[in-house]
Amino acid sequence: SLLSASLLGIDFANPLLNASGVYCRDVAELDALAASAAGSLVTKSCTLLAREGNPEPRYYATPLGSINSMGLPNAGYQYYLAYAQQHDYAAKPLFLSVAGLSLADNLTMLAAIRAADTPAIVELNLSCPNVPGKPQIGYDFAAMTAMLEAVTQAYDRPFGVKLPPYFDIAHFDEAAAILNRFPQVAFVTCINSIGNALIIDVEAESVVIKPKDGFGGIGGDYVLPTALANVNAFYRRCPAKQIIGCGGVTRGEHIFMHLLAGASLVQVGTALYEEGPGIFARLNDELAELLTRKGYRGIEEVRGKLRTL
């Protein structure tokens, strides 16, 4: 139908799902997403052991978006694997987000996920921490290569990676060249939050979140152009892979932008946090109205059709 989408040969009723980390930490939230108009859902990035995460306030929203330094609060990978084992895949596909604190942790979690043999699709979060003093894995190309070499040995199924935003063409080139060495990396999700921003409250003359002296990843309107650029950069550079867009979606036309840029599915973070799962019905309606007004019969006709001048 008009909004039908597909990824890894799997059918989706529509291209929308949550961004990992938003509205997906416990069964109640995951069930609400499963019951919503979203075409699929992804779990909060998990670690080997459960984590409390950082002290609050650790999330704050402004009229232009959000800042967060959650610190990977999650129930531990077995909790999400158990959820994946009871999920109704006939209703909608489910993604498991994995963010091990070490390569060893990732390998342990992925081996367990593989052994469970569920239809869940793995999204490996490459913004996961590296050794102290080094940048996140997504910004350490040697570590990223080593991680993917080890993971593709341990996990023999197609999977995807969640990438941080890049801002330099040479970085798009280098990151894509690494990913293209791994055909098992079947999709790329662009982008994670733009890291280490700082939001200031003028009235209080203060930062707005407690961790990291107020530094945190931003989402929302602030990141849409960067998200679209990363979607299109990897769409152009990785013709054998699919792209999941993430960043800056609050309206149907933003989904349309992500599709034009090359996205097959589109994730919603900040706007979902602020509006709740009802947003998916609104976004699907707005997207359907836009496609119809423009004479499209399906989103496949839109994907990657961005014109240049």
Ligand X SMILES: CC(C)(C)CCc1c(C(=O)O)[nH]c(=O)[nH]c1=O
- Site residues for ligand X per CB under 6 A: 21, 45, 68-72, 99, 125, 127-129, 192-193, 217
- Of residues 121 and 128, the one with the C-beta less far from ligand X: 128
- Of residues 125 and 232, the one with the C-beta less far from ligand X: 125
Q: How far is the CB of 66 from ligand X (least distance, A)?
A: 9
- Of residues 5 and 42, the one with the C-beta less far from ligand X: 42
Q: How far is the CB of 212 from ligand X (least distance, A)?
A: 10
Count of alpha carbons within 13 Å of 92, Cβ hemisphere only?
Answer: 24
Helix (H, G, I), strand (E, B) or coil at 186: strand
Cβ contact 94:121 at 8 Å: yes
238 classed as catalytic = no
How remote is the C-alpha of 254 from its chain's centroid? 16
Q: Where are the alpha helices (DSSP H) in the chain?
A: 27-35, 77-86, 103-116, 141-154, 169-179, 224-237, 252-261, 270-275, 279-293
- Of residues 52 and 205, the one with the C-beta less far from ligand X: 52
> Whose CA is closest to 119, among 98, 90, 97, 99?
90
> Whose CA is closest to 39, among 213, 267, 251, 217?
267
Q: For 293, which DSSP code?
A: H
| 265-304 per-residue burial string, b: 16 or more CB within 10 A, e: under 16 | bbbbbbbbbeeebebbeebbebbbebbeeeebeebeebbb
- Of residues 141 and 296, the one with the C-beta less far from ligand X: 141
The residue annotated as part of the active site, out of 128, 190, 238, 246, is 128
**Residues with a known catalytic role:** 128
